[in-house]
């Protein structure tokens, strides 16, 4: 989730749909 795109999308993460400008922030957090 999220890692599939070059840039983080809103409501794309299971962590609560936080707004992430870049997936490089913590890619491992997506699989969590």
Tens of pLDDT, residues 2-28: 455 555 555 555 555 555 555 555 555
Contact yes or no for 30/18 (Cβ under 8 A): no
Q: How many CA atoms lie within 13 A of 11 on its CB side?
A: 0
Tokens standing for residue 12: 């794309």
Tokens standing for residue 20: 């992430």
pTM more than 0.85:
no
Contact yes or no for 12/1 (Cβ under 8 A): yes
Tokens standing for residue 28: 């491992």
Strand ranges for the chain from DSSP E? none
């Amino acid at each position: 989730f999220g890692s599939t795109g070059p840039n983080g999308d809103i409501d794309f993460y299971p962590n609560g749909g936080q707004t992430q400008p870049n997936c490089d922030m913590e890619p491992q957090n997506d699989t969590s």
